[in-house]
Amino acid sequence: MWKVPVFGALGLIILTLLALELVVLGGTQVVYAKRYPDPFAPYEAIAPGQPVGALQSYYCRWQEQMMKFMMVYCEIAPHEGPFGKVMVFASLREAEIQQLTFVAHELYLGDLMLHWGYPYVVETYRRDSFIVRWRGGIYAYIAPVRANGQYSYQSPVYSVSVR
């Protein structure tokens, strides 16, 4: 009979569980890679850095000018998809789009992770939400999904901002 030391068995179990988790996560991304509907795709033409003229094909209602910051913003009201509105912030000086903020109503942290991968920072924001940050100026405000205030893949997204 083989004798396996306790630490060796525990290490083997941990390695097996880690390998299983990697297979499941990798498999999920492979399965959904072709079928996952990218909710941000319709807005690629107005990504930050694009000229304000790119907004001509969108019905973007200009709201106000923030002269102190030399910025203007407009709102797009999508007819379908997971966003209730999309706010576009533009620089008057450079005449280019600086930031997009998507106000979500049917979007979850897991959807964002399929799009941008794992966030590099998750911070508590107030008592009832979190800020999730990705590299490249992307961040989201999310709600906790559990009564004890924790977040998970099923956490609803309040908004996503791309700079």
Name the average pLDDT for the chain.
82
**Within 10 A of 122 (CB to CB), how many other CB atoms are there?**
15
Does the pLDDT value for residue 33 go beyond 70?
no
On whether both 159 and 113 belong to a single domain, the answer is yes
Instruction: Using pLDDT thresholds of 50, 70 and 90, give the confidence band for residue 94.
Output: confident
On whether both 94 and 125 belong to a single domain, the answer is no
On whether both 112 and 157 belong to a single domain, the answer is yes
On whether both 27 and 57 belong to a single domain, the answer is no
Give the whole-angstrom CA distance, residue 27 versus residue 20: 10
Q: What domain range includes position 23?
A: 1-35
Residue 45 C-beta-side C-alpha neighbours within 13 Å? 7
Pairing of strands 96-104, 157-162: antiparallel
Choose the final residue of a domain: 99, 127, 150.
Answer: 99
On whether both 21 and 61 belong to a single domain, the answer is no
Q: What's the pLDDT score for residue 75?
A: 94
Across the range 30-55, mean pLDDT stands at: 84
3-state SS string for the chain: CCCCCHHHHHHHHHHHHHHHHHHHHHHHHHHHCCCCCCCCHHHHHHCCCCEHHHHHHCCEEEEEEEHHHCEEEEEECCCCCCEEEEEEEEECCCCEEEEEEEEECCCEHHHHHHHHCCCCEEEEECCCEEEEEECCCEEEEECCCCCCCCCCCCCEEEEEEEC
Q: What's the pLDDT score for residue 28?
A: 47
Higher per-residue pLDDT: 122 or 8:
122
